[in-house]
Amino acid sequence: MITITQLEYIVAVDTFRHFGKAAEHCFITQPTLSMQIKKLEEDLEVIIFDRSKQPLIPTDVGARIIEQARGVLTETEKINNIIKDHKNLISGELRIGIIPTLAPYLLPLFIGNYKRKYPNIMIKVEELTTENIVDQLNRDLLDVGVLVTPLKEERINEKPIFYEEMMVYAHDEHPLHNKHDIKVDDIAIPEIWLLSDGHCFRHQVINLCSYKGSSNEELPFYFEAGSLETLMNIIDKEGGITLIPELAAVEMSENRMEHVRHFTDVTPLREVSLVYSRHFAKNKLIELLWKEITSSMPKPLLDKDRGTIVEWK
């Protein structure tokens, strides 16, 4: 007979792709974990993991079994959540991944209040790219991500939170700084600074203006930026333009706000959402997190109809 514990073990091995790390996660010895998984394979008369590969990977039938196991464990966890709801207990661990173009502006707005309201929730936050967040959600290494959607991932749920405008940040000697009528086509120029590949905001900028790139001969040097703050600091000194999301300007200094310009032909928006696995069982924690973030937002950012959502995939 298959046991819940055996299902936990094969899910842990799939998550960490390593018997030793999975055993450590499950607080048992590696021989015990290996023995239990071997017994499950013998009872089912199938091989769940291909032990000849490094890192360890599930077989085709093993992947199907593990997917079903995750669903069973989720349903089991829901029983615990029913008991917590009945007792009005708000507790547990919440592992959050957030993308770098949101973290410095969004986290300070809500994370402190969320923790103070729900002190029994153990919060762990990590700054990650969208690709890494999706990967870790699928492997149960994260509970929820805060990132830009739509993702269009089959196994990921999306819960939109707010919609922030994409705006131009220009050096005071750049022609766009003094232009009153800025159109999207105006930013498809060689002197635009972009975030490095892997950042969804970079792809949104490219999609917005259909910028295909060039030799960037108008820039003083080639730079793969990892943060918007770095780009703005370089523009302040070296010239050029970039795009920034609206939250980056919420607490911006007056001097810097003089460099911010809005598009006049369209209001491009990026949709920010909570994303989580379809197997996720801590729905109440997600709902409380969503409410805390939305309550911390300036009201205009909650209005989806004030502009056009720019996709990045």
Question: SS3 for 209-258, per residue?
Answer: HCCCCCCCCCCCCCCCECCHHHHHHHHHHHCCEEEEEHHHHCCCCHHHHC
Answer for the pair 167, 269: CB distance below 8 angstroms, yes or no: no
- Are residues 282 and 133 located together in one domain of the fold? yes
Of 27, 56, 86, the residue at which a domain comes to its end is 86
Answer for the pair 265, 172: CB distance below 8 angstroms, yes or no: no
Of 47, 65, 86, the residue at which a domain comes to its end is 86
- pLDDT for residue 100: 93
- Are residues 152 and 276 located together in one domain of the fold? yes
- pLDDT for residue 152: 86
Q: How many domains does the chain have?
A: 3
Of 28, 62, 86, the residue at which a domain comes to its end is 86
- Are residues 264 and 167 located together in one domain of the fold? yes
Three-point CA angle 77, 106, 156, nearest 5°: 40
Going by C-alpha positions, the residue among 55, 261, 272, 265 that lies closest to residue 146 is: 272
- Cα–Cα distance, 274 to 283 (Å, whole number): 12
Mind listing the pLDDT tens digit of every residue in the chain (313 residues)?
789 999 999 999 998 899 999 999 999 999 999 999 999 999 999 999 998 888 889 999 999 999 899 888 888 887 877 777 656 667 888 999 999 999 999 999 999 999 999 999 999 999 999 999 999 998 888 999 999 999 988 889 999 999 999 999 999 999 999 998 999 989 888 888 888 877 888 888 888 876 545 445 556 666 677 889 999 999 999 999 999 999 999 889 999 999 999 999 999 999 999 999 877 767 888 899 999 999 999 999 999 999 999 988 7
- Are residues 194 and 235 located together in one domain of the fold? yes
pTM of the model: 0.78
The domain that holds 32 is classified in CATH as 1.10.10.10
Answer for the pair 110, 292: CB distance below 8 angstroms, yes or no: yes
- pLDDT for residue 269: 96
- Are residues 239 and 303 located together in one domain of the fold? no
- Are residues 110 and 150 located together in one domain of the fold? yes
Backbone angles phi, psi at 225, to 5 degrees: -85, 145
Q: Which domain holds residue 231?
A: 163-268
User: How far is CA 251 from each of CA 79, 105, 234, 242, rounded to the nearest angstrom?
Assistant: 43, 9, 19, 18
- Are residues 137 and 182 located together in one domain of the fold? no
- Are residues 170 and 291 located together in one domain of the fold? no
- pLDDT for residue 215: 46
- Cα–Cα distance, 95 to 125 (Å, whole number): 6
- pLDDT for residue 83: 75
- Cα–Cα distance, 139 to 191 (Å, whole number): 40
Residue spans of beta strands (DSSP E) within the chain: 49-50, 57-58, 92-98, 121-127, 144-149, 156-170, 241-245, 260-261, 268-277, 308-309
- Are residues 118 and 260 located together in one domain of the fold? no
- pLDDT for residue 133: 96
- Are residues 150 and 276 located together in one domain of the fold? yes
Half-sphere exposure of 3 (CA within 13 A, CB side): 7
Backbone dihedral region for residue 43 (phi beyond 0: left; psi -120 to 50: alpha; all else: beta): alpha
- Cα–Cα distance, 130 to 99 (Å, whole number): 6
Residue 30 CB neighbours (<10 A)? 15
Backbone angles phi, psi at 296, to 5 degrees: -90, -5
- Are residues 283 and 154 located together in one domain of the fold? yes
- Are residues 82 and 21 located together in one domain of the fold? yes
The domain that holds 215 is classified in CATH as 3.40.190.10
Which residue in the block uniquely carries the two structure tokens 């209001």? Answer: 267
